[in-house]
Amino acid sequence: MKAGRRWSLAVLAFVAVAGLLSWAGAPTPALFAALVGGGVLGVTSPTAPQLPAVLRQLGMAIVGVAAGATINADVLKAVAREPVAVPAGVLLTLGATMLIGQLLNLHPGVSGTTAAFASIAGGASGVSLMAKEFGADAQVVLSAQYLRVIVVLVSVPLVAPLLGGARPAASGASTGVNSSVGADLAYTGICLLVGMVLARLARFGGAGILVPLVVSSAVSVWGVFGLAHVPGWLLTVGYTLVGLYVGVGFTRDQLRTLAGIFPLALVSALLGMAACAGIGVAFAHMVGVSPLDGYLATTPGGLPAVTAVAVDSGDEVGLILTMQCLRILLALLCAPLLGAWLRRRPRGNA
C-alpha cells in the first residue's frame, strides 16, 4: 500500500474515532483516536514507523505538566485535614486495581509486567509511555487502561443515583478552576521548557514525564500563576502524540492478543470498580462523609464524570478532586518504581 493511502486511512480513522468518542462523551478522545490511527499506520506499513524523538518527548512533557497542574495548595490542605484516611484511600484504590488486574496475566500473550502496568489506576497516557520503556506491551496497556476508564464513565452516572446523587447535567462540568489565557500559557511554557531540559539531564526511566510533573507541581503549589493549567488544545496535542507513539507500534499479532484479552480486561475493570466502590463506602464511614462522596473519591478513573457528579451532587467536592488528583499523581510516580522492580525479577516472572 502506498504511503499516501496509508496516511489517508490513518487520518480517516483518527477523525472517525475521535468524532464517535466525542459524541459519546468519552474522555480524551484524541488519545484513543490517535492510538487507532497510529495502529492503521503500524499494521499497513512494510516497516515499523517511528515517531520522531522530539515529538515523543513533547507528548510526555505535556502529559506530565498537565498532571502536575492538578496539585496545588488546596490539595495539600485537604490532605493535611485527613493525613491518614486520604492517603490510605488512595493507596487502597491503587492496590485493589493492581491486584485484580493480574487477571490479565492469565492470558498467555500478556506478561506479568504488561498486566501490572495495565492495571495501574491513573494517568493512562503516561503509564503507557513508561510501560514501553520498561519492556511492557504498551498497546495492551493503553487499551486495557482506556477500557477501564470507559467502564468507570458508564457506571458512575448509574451508581451515583443509588447513593443519593443525581445524574450529571453534562460530562464536561467545570471544576471551578479559573485562570487567564496568558497565565495558562506562561505557566505551561515555563514548566515545559524547564521540565524538558531537566528531563534530558536525568538518567532514569520515566524521566520524560516525571520531571515535568514535579516541576509543574512545584510551580502550581507556589501559586505565582494562580490556578493555571495546560490549555485544552495543547493537552489534546499531547494526547494525540502519546496515542500516535503507542499506536505505530501495533502488529497483527498484537491485534490478535488484544481481541483475546478483552473478556479478561472487562472482568478486571468491573471487579476493580466494585472493589473501589467498597473502599469508598468504608472511607466515607471513616471520615464522616456521605457514601456518594466516598464512592466518587475512590473511583479508579473517569475524572470527567466524577467531577460532573461531584459538582452537581457531592458535598465534599474538594476532598473528591483531591483524592482523584493524588491517585493520578501517585500512579505516575509509582510506575517507574514498579518497572524497575519488575526488570530486576527473573525474566520468567515478568
- For 67-113, the pLDDT digits (tens) are 888 787 877 887 888 889 999 999 999 999 999 999 998 988 888 88
Q: Do residues 64 and 126 lie in contact, with contact meaning Cβ atoms separated by under 8 Å?
A: yes
Angstrom distance (rounded) from CA 78 to CA 320:
10
Angstrom distance (rounded) from CA 8 to CA 323:
42
Q: How many residues are given for the chain?
A: 350
Q: What is the pTM of this model?
A: 0.72
Domain residue limits, the chain = 54-234+260-349
State the DSSP string of 35-98: HHHHHHHHHH-SS-----HHHHHHHHHHHHHHHHTT--HHHHHHHHHSTTHHHHHHHHHHHHHH
Using alpha carbons, select from 94, 114, 43 the residue that is nearest to residue 265. 114
CA angle, corner 255, sides to 47 and 117, nearest 5? 100
Angstrom distance (rounded) from CA 147 to CA 126:
16
- For 31-69, the pLDDT digits (tens) are 888 888 988 888 888 776 778 888 988 988 998 888 888
- For 231-283, the pLDDT digits (tens) are 989 989 988 988 888 788 777 777 777 888 999 999 999 999 999 999 999 99
Q: Do residues 287 and 318 lie in contact, with contact meaning Cβ atoms separated by under 8 Å?
A: no
Residue with cell 490556578: 227
